[in-house]
Chains A and B, each alone.
Chain A
């Protein structure tokens, strides 16, 4: 599936009286991995939540492809948008296969097709098929994150939103997941928005970046620009 361009236009977002996004505009390129950088509290997670409709913007608008995000479009848009978060957010009462195929079940996908899709995704993700009947807590953190990615990719969404998905993982696990994401992009270039505070992770995975500070965009650009601002970013 082709990626979709995501346009954030003049978005203002606040928690109570505290403004967390102040007239932010940015266009996330179709089929590219864009890293959203920033420190804790900079507003980068809010950016993702606004795109996904978990948080409502006070003003401004967001377009996913040609569709504006609002109450009537959000449910359909969410199914086109894979969502991965830190600590995976897998449902503890569902077995791995059920976790992965949940959205297929909700969208009325054919049973046989679902099984095939689960197997396919688990193979790509280097997860043994014997894990299908396990519960999430029986898997390691890295394995759980792969399952989380499988779930996000189940309906082949053109957009993938990732909120610090690798933050709590060890170095080796991280590296293998980076390779996995790169493989996925090679197969099928999606629009991926990757929230991270890890500069090296951004350098490794991102084609473009947005640096958010205190609710406003401080810098944007491609990978070369990203590497050039490293000293500045690490200074704070």
Chain B
């Protein structure tokens, strides 16, 4: 176990110190199929031009990606005109897009890649035929339609809430993960969902796109959104993508990534080769055992650092608080509130403060791990037999000796249970760290979710489960070392 930690720390250090020679461009991507492919197009063109690319994919939504760009955690990512104007800048007039980005955020955009990927509402062919659904206004007549939208779509300005007003729709919608919505529609769990017009699933699953007869959705031309201070050479490279990709080509690439068992990198590579922008593929872009190992180590690193922080902070705090029951109650209460913040929200809250990557992920995981450690320490210490504490004082132990020789050892089973809970929570929550570019096994899970690729999800989920089991065993061993058998927790 210790060896693994060393390896993890070493590989991190090596990685950081290794990548200092050529200009490094940090390319971001939102966590959906097309986002990955476009980011790969950008990345591979940059690499072909001699830049070193750091891929920060899997960013959990527009707000995360934009914050990351604004704070310099990434340099460029693919975005859509409609999303920028509606969702980010809240503009009335799309003509002001460029000026506003430059004035408010020091950001620039490239010319569009060519295709537009608009939002659309889709239903199955069967339902479309049966109920004569062709246009969005047609669904007015079917208030019983079961609707499931991606959470982002529900909240966006160009999303469900305003769409509902414009079309005067009576239905209400449930939120679900975009990658899962197609599955839900196929399995007849929902009737209608949101889609991107370039989604590969539309053709594959024979879904019908409802016509936007009141022209609610703005245009969504894909383009590169990047910092003004981006390397001039890199900006030149980005120009190569302008006007390069037609809607058909994008659909095809999306479908290939989804259904032809190709990685995003392969799909992007083939496209660029076909367009004569790259010679030939040089890298093997598939995931291998090495990737699982690397990400497992990253995962372990995130988990262990945050856990150690939680112990380093929670244990002394709990020890100090044991004599102040009212204060202890308050602190546990506050830590409890932190715990109730949904993990993805907490991660998103971290971005303006700490950017993206390892640091905010560790801080968020630390906050989650803190409560169990703190509560375990306080509860454990308070549960120590008052008589024994009195005896310890009476026979001549000073308060420090009493704490370390009597109270801590007797509280240890409960404290260890707290730490163990914290560890398992950390392993689980760390899978979400991928959303803010911290890597870990969540990379596979998040990408797998976006692709609806069970194999990829399992590549992340199984090692994560193994890690959780290993951590359990590790703490069982610690307990075996520290706690005499008759004082161990019954549950273990």
A residues engaging B (CB < 8 A)?
52, 54, 75, 78-79, 81-83, 85, 87, 89, 91-93, 102-103, 106, 135, 137, 151-152, 161
Contacts known (A89-B388, A102-B405); A79 close to B484, Cβ less than 8 A: no
Give the interface centre of B391, B394, B398 by most chain A CB atoms within 10 Å: B394
Any A CB within 8 A of the CB of B486: yes
Determine the chain A residues whose CB is within 8 A of the CB of B410 once the complex forms: 91-93
Q: In the complex, which of the residues B395, B406, B483, B484 contacts A103, with contact meaning CB atoms closer than 8 Å? A: B395
Q: Return chain B residues, CB-CB under 8 Å to A78.
A: 393-396
What are some 23 contacts across the A-B interface (CB < 8 A)?
A: A52-B394, A54-B393, A75-B398, A78-B395, A79-B396, A83-B391, A83-B395, A85-B387, A87-B387, A89-B387, A89-B388, A91-B392, A92-B487, A93-B483, A93-B484, A102-B405, A103-B395, A106-B396, A106-B397, A106-B401, A137-B486, A151-B395, A152-B395
List residues of B (370-391) whose CB comes within 8 Å of A's CBs.
387-388, 390-391
CB closest chain-A residue, reference B398? A75
Question: CB of B463 within 8 A of chain A?
Answer: no
Contact of B406 (CB < 8 Å), options: A91, A135, A152? A91
Q: Does B61 contact A (CB under 8 A)?
A: no
Q: In whole angstroms, how far apart are the Cα atoms of A164 and B398 in the complex? A: 24
Taking the complex as formed, is B336 at the interface, i.e. its CB lies under 8 A from any CB of chain A? no
Q: Which 6 A-B pairs have the closest CB atoms?
A: A89-B391, A78-B396, A83-B394, A79-B396, A93-B409, A83-B395
Residues on B with beta carbons closer than 8 Å to the beta carbon of A103: 395-396
| Cα of A42 to Cα of B393 in the assembled complex, Å | 24
Interface residues on B, range: 20 to 34
Q: How far is the CB of A229 from chain B (nearest CB, A)?
A: 30
With contact pairs A135-B486, A137-B486 given, residues A85 and B396 touching in the complex (Cβ less than 8 Å): no
- Cβ–Cβ < 8 Å partners of B406 in chain A: 91
Do A135 and B388 have beta carbons less than 8 Å apart?
no
Shortest distance between the CB of B194 and any CB in chain A (Å): 60
Closest to A49 in B: B394
Bound: A89/B394 CA distance, A? 11
Smallest CB-CB separation from B406: which chain A residue? A91
The answer to whether B397 touches A85 (Cβ under 8 A) is: no
Q: 20 more A-B contacts (CB under 8 A) besides A85-B394, A91-B405, A92-B484?
A: A52-B394, A54-B390, A75-B396, A83-B395, A85-B387, A85-B391, A87-B387, A89-B388, A89-B390, A89-B391, A91-B406, A92-B388, A92-B410, A93-B409, A93-B487, A106-B397, A106-B401, A135-B486, A137-B486, A161-B394
Chain B residue with the shortest CB-CB distance to A80: B396
- A75 contacts across to B, CB distance below 8 A: 396, 398
How many angstroms from the CA of A152 to the CA of B484 in the assembled complex? 24
Residues of A within 8 A of B401 (CB): 106
Q: How far is the CA of A123 from the CA of B372 in the complex (A)?
A: 47
Which residue, B401, B405, B487, has most C-beta atoms of chain A within 10 A? B405
CA gap between A17 and B397 in the complex, in Å = 30
Q: Which residue of A lies closest to B391 (CB)?
A: A89
Instruction: Name which residue of chain A comes closest to B389, CB basis.
Output: A89
What are the residues of chain B within 8 A of A85 when measuring CB–CB? 387, 391, 394
CB neighbours of A89 from chain B (8 A): 387-388, 390-391
Q: Which residues of A contact B392 (CB under 8 A)?
A: 91
A54 to B389, CA, bound (A): 11
- Give Cα A91–Cα B410 distance, bound, in whole angstroms: 9
Tell me the minimal C-beta distance from B268 to chain A in angstroms: 61
Return A155 CB to nearest CB of chain B, in Å. 8
- Bound complex: CA A103 to CA B395 (Å): 8
Question: How many angstroms between the C-alpha atoms of A102 and B406 in the bound complex?
Answer: 11
Interface string of B162-175 (1 = CB under 8 A from A): 00000000000000
Closest approach, in angstroms, between the C-beta of B389 and any C-beta of chain A? 10
Query: Known contacts A102-B405, A106-B401; is A91 also within 8 Å of B388 by CB?
Result: yes
Determine the distance from Cα of A137 to Cα of B486 in the docked complex, in whole angstroms: 9
B residues less than 8 Å from A106 (CB atoms)? 396-397, 401
Shortest beta-carbon distance from B434 to chain A in Å = 42
In the assembled complex, the Cα of A82 lies from the Cα of B391 at a distance in Å of 11
Q: How far is the CA of A87 from the CA of B387 in the complex (A)?
A: 10
Report B-chain residues with C-beta under 8 Å of the C-beta of A161. Answer: 394
Asked if residues B394 and A54 are in contact (CB atoms below 8 Å), the reply is yes
When distances are taken between beta carbons in the complex, the residues of chain B under 8 Å from A151 are: 395
Chain A residues closer than 8 Å to B387, beta-carbon distance: 85, 87, 89
Report chain B residues within 8 Å CB of A102.
395, 405
Q: Mark B132-174, 1 if CB is under 8 A from A, else 0.
A: 0000000000000000000000000000000000000000000
Q: Which residue on chain A has the smallest CB distance to residue B392?
A: A91
With a cutoff of 8 Å between Cβ atoms, the chain B residues found around residue A83 in the complex are: 391, 394-395
What distance in Å separates the Cβ of B383 from its nearest Cβ neighbour in chain A?
13
**Given the complex of chains A and B, what is the CA–CA distance between A78 and B392 in angstroms?**
10
A220 CB, min distance to chain B CBs, angstroms: 25
Q: CA separation between A81 and B395, bound complex, in Å?
A: 7
When the two chains form their complex, are residues A135 and B484 in contact, meaning their CB atoms are under 8 A apart?
A: yes
Could you say which residues of chain A place their CB within 8 Å of the CB of B393?
A: 54, 78
Chain B residue at smallest Cβ distance from A75? B398
Q: Which residue of B lies closest to A93 (CB)?
A: B409
Question: In the docked arrangement, what's the CA distance between A158 and B391, Å?
Answer: 19
CB neighbours (8 Å) of B409 from chain A are 93
**Measured CA separation A143–B391 after assembly (Å):** 18
Residue from A75, A81, A91, A135 whose CB has the most chain B CB atoms within 10 Å: A91
Distance between Cα atoms of A85 and B390 in the complex (Å): 10
Q: Bound state CA distance, A81 and B394, in angstroms?
A: 9
Most buried by A among B396, B398, B405, B486: B396
